[in-house]
Amino acid sequence: MHGYDSTSYGDGFADVYDEWYADVTDVAATVQRMVELAGPAGRVLELGVGTGRLAAPMVGAGLRVVGIDSSAAMLARIPAQPDGGQVTALLGDMVGDLPDGPFDACLVAYNTLFNLLDAAEQQRCFHAVAERLRPGGSFVVEAIVPDPAAPAGGDVSVRSMTADRVVLSVSDHRPGEQRTSGQFVELTEAGGVRLRPWSIRWAPPAELDSMAAAAGLTLAERFADMAGAPFDDDADHHVSIYRR
């Protein structure tokens, strides 16, 4: 998408992120999983921390959380979360700007890894995380399982509609490039048109496993969700836990 960069998503969605994506993942299960992996009062790094939707509850559970995000607009919303003031929030990218370790665990939640828009950047992210994990530390990757049968091309659908507001979803799927991009087009009677762009470079679990192995990480467990549902050929999401 022409003109799209690492800040576009966060700056476009910061004001609606908590409203639109409150139920996109199981917050309680995520917190419990990270406590189990990091240990009581463990040190956790969250990549693409956003508004602190997960980081703040992790702090509330006793974890010491450092979160990084490339969007200042997203980070500005963390202090408003319960316990958000105790999250150490850093502005930067999730490859070259990661803070020093060691960390007991690292989390990259719901497709956030795919915000890195080429395979080489995703691979560098695995290396950067591995360098900051303590021996035995865990890297938790939550992502979709791409559908190999999904057709190429564009799609337009209605995300939501009220008397004074319509949100359209416009997307372009390019399987040959492992890329999907889109816009949420928000039309309001009072505010006119607002565009909220997004773009991902997706990868199947086997490709992520190869990236992890190249970084010295081993797949320890894989589930269909954070609560630990069994992963099988019908799963459309995965939670993969890689260990140093």
pLDDT in tens, 117-148: 999 999 999 999 999 999 999 999 999 999 98
CB contact at 8 A, 140 and 241? yes
Confidence of residue 161 (pLDDT cuts 50, 70, 90): very high
Q: What is the mean pLDDT of residues 214-224?
A: 98
Structure-token pair, residue 55: 């980081």
CB contact at 8 A, 100 and 131? no
Q: What is the mean pLDDT of residues 92-108?
A: 97
- Please tell me the pTM assigned to this model: 0.95
- 34 three-state secondary structure: helix
CATH topology for 153-200? N-terminal domain of TfIIb (2.20.25)
What dotted CATH number matches 8-146+203-243? 3.40.50.150
Mean pLDDT (the chain) is 96
Confidence of residue 190 (pLDDT cuts 50, 70, 90): confident
Q: What is the mean pLDDT of residues 198-221?
A: 98
Dihedral of alpha carbons 50, 53, 57, 58, sign: negative
Q: How far is CA 232 from CA 8, 113, 137, 225, 243, in A?
A: 34, 22, 25, 11, 21
Instruction: Work out the burial of residue 215: count CB atoms within 10 Å of its CB; fewer than 13 is exposed, 13-18 middle, 19 or more buried.
Output: buried
pLDDT, residue 191, reads 81
pLDDT, residue 3, reads 81
Whether pLDDT at 215 is above 80 = yes
Strand (E) positions, the chain?
43-47, 64-69, 88-91, 103-108, 133-144, 153-161, 165-174, 179-188, 192-201, 218-223, 237-243
Q: Do domains 8-146+203-243 and 153-200 have the same CATH topology?
A: no
Could you give the residue ranges of the DSSP H alpha helices within the chain?
8-13, 17-20, 27-38, 55-60, 72-75, 119-132, 205-214
Domain ranges in the chain are: 8-146+203-243, 153-200
Largest CA distance in the chain: 55
